[in-house]
Chains A and B, each alone.
Chain A
Amino acid sequence: MAEVLLEVRNVNKAFGGVVTAKEVNMKVEKGEIHGLIGPNGAGKTTLLNLISGIYDVDGGQIFFKGEDVTKLPPYTRSRMGIGRTFQSPRFSPRSSIRDNLLVGTDLDNKMGYLSSFFGKKGADFDKEFEELIKIAGFTFDWDERINSLPYGQQKLLEIIRAMLSHPTVMLVDEPCAGLNMEEQNRVKDLLNKGLEQGMGIVLIEHSMEMVMSVCHNISVLNFGEIIAEGTPAEIQSNQQVIEAYLGKDEDTLAGGAHVGN
């Protein structure tokens, strides 16, 4: 059992009447990709927002490397090592690509504004960046405007930016949405590179093929409740999961094949 990096202990969250998280428990260990799946509106992204601190929890606690971070604001949590990507890539269109990526390294260098103003250069990020870009397998022109890059490349860039800040836990929100097969494999390589660096990864993803092949274990969320947890094999055969996804009767997941593609 490797070191537990992130632990969510019976967290509750509700917006007015809508319950988005009920008694959620989850653990992420070092070097593990923890899948988080569930039908649309199950509260997956809300859970990520709770972990990264954008929303405050109504009840329960969140531990990061054994420390209770429930009360901390998002920027302190990210400085401690919780990296994050978003469903739709969030870049600042008016800054250059270089500035958008540099912000990631600034976070890692723990630089203050003043020290950066007086020329304290953070670690040189070009070498590492080139390595990640080779994995992502696409080239781009530095003078390009970030919004003019194709959608797939922007998603990959966002993952790279999160990785540049060397987080201890990385929350990845639907990296493969809208990507072709070839780009999805790139995402797998990037995530594996992250594991090599000793990260714990929480992965929200809808394409089952990706989730089943990459995740070490998976939690299934439905209407804010964890209805199942375990290795990909266990999850595939779990009756409740099938019902949550496909409704009550006939198609069984047992065959496992036709659900995947």
Chain B
Amino acid sequence: MDKAKSFVQKNLGTIIGAVVLTLVFFIVPNKGVVNAYIMKVINLGLIYFVAVAGLCVILGMGGQPTFSTAGMMGLGAYSVALLTTLKGWAPIPALLVSVLWVTLFSVVMGLALFRLKGSYFSFASIGFTSLIFTVLTNWLSLTGGPDGIKNIPRLGIGNLVCQNYYDYFRVLFFIALACYLIVQRIRKSYLGRALGCVRDNEIAAQCMGINAYRTKVISFVIAGAFAAFAGGLYALHERYISPAPFQYDQSAIYLIMIMLGGVNSTGGALIGSLFMTWLPERIRFLAAYSRLIYGIGVIILMNVMPMGIMGLVDNFRYKMRKKMKKNQSAETPVKEAE
């Protein structure tokens, strides 16, 4: 009996998590609980989370602030839209092919951009996104220019197609969960640790066998792949795209999402993307003042919790554990942490 008890005791957290997640999966996506509008906002939040998960790797772990997310999303969205509308491909193969070619493209861009350091890199990534936006707006024959592309098919395999936002939620739920687990896996693997070293002091990292340049390029490629995947999902979800959402100021929103959520934790990125998609909708009733409050809100939140919501939670937990330590008398030399 105690073996099962120790099993439960050991990963109590994962069990609670699994139970709560299954509850969410079955309760949330039906008409009674949530109307179509809120469902759409949550879906958008999950799609943005996929892109922000990429930022978790490059900014959260690697410490490189990049504005290229919107550009990569634009490439992903337009290649899916063109493959499905012009070439008549099914959504899934189109999604896979566009993620593939954008990943290869970001290898090339990563190699070029990471010759630069710090603010130079950030600014070059702004240039990158603006370049892509200008091409998308002006290449009339291919992208249809500012009028965009209509009638992108719904996400689905064969006849199993997502009819409404509730079906989309069920698919996006698993996609978001998969991205969450992948990013957590990276964080625990050698790549995560290497990125941590590169973020905090590149010289020390070089002396510990970490090729800083190559590691940063890998993180850029991962971020590119996530962003392209999110772009494809955005196209299949909105079913109409134009160049406007893939501009520089949308990239800024993604940075705000991860910084507010908590730059050191993937859960924080999820909270950040849901919160920042939900906030403008929630303060919609303020009409003319909504974006003013939105901007001031970002400043206040950055001042109150520079490390984001999860930063606050971690500090709180860290202090709480310290207190627990104090009143515990004996201390084993090295206690194996979870």
Contacts and interface: CB of A to CB of B under 8 A. Distances in A.
Interface of A: 52-54, 73-75, 78-79, 84, 86, 90-96, 98-99, 102-104, 106-107, 111-113, 116-117, 126, 129-130, 133, 139-143, 145, 165
Contacts of A143: 318, 321, 337
B318 to A, nearest CB: 7
B200 A106 contact: no
Given A98-B337, A142-B336, 10 more contacts: A53-B206, A54-B206, A94-B264, A102-B193, A107-B208, A126-B336, A129-B334, A142-B335, A142-B337, A143-B321
Contact of A106 (B193, B204, B331, B334): B193
Interface stretch (B37-45, B101-109, B139-147, B182-190): B182-190
Interface of B: 185-186, 189-194, 196-197, 199-201, 203-204, 206-212, 215, 218, 264, 318, 321, 325, 331, 333-337
Given A117-B186, A133-B333, A133-B334, A75 B192 contact: no
Contacts of A142: 334-337
B189 A113 contact: yes
Contact of A79 (B209, B212, B333): B209
B331 A95 contact: no
B333 A86 contact: no
Given A90-B201, A91-B200, A126-B336, A117 B185 contact: yes
A95 B321 contact: no
Contacts of A139: 331, 333-334
Instruction: Name the 9 nearest CB pairs between A and B, nearest first.
Output: A92-B200, A116-B190, A90-B204, A107-B209, A113-B191, A74-B206, A142-B337, A95-B196, A78-B209
B336 A90 contact: no
Contacts of A79: 209
14 contacts: A73-B206, A78-B209, A84-B208, A92-B200, A96-B337, A99-B196, A104-B208, A107-B209, A116-B189, A117-B190, A126-B336, A129-B334, A133-B333, A141-B335
Contacts of A98: 337
A103 B200 CA distance: 13
A125 B204 CA distance: 21
Contacts of B210: 75, 103
Contacts of A106: 190, 193-194, 209
Contacts of A73: 206, 211
Contacts of B200: 90-95
A162 B196 CA distance: 17
Given A103-B197, A133-B333, A78 B190 contact: no
B76 to A, nearest CB: 22
A160 B156 CA distance: 54
Chain B CB within 10 A, most for which of A93, A111, A113, A139: A113
Contacts of B211: 73, 75
Contacts of A96: 337
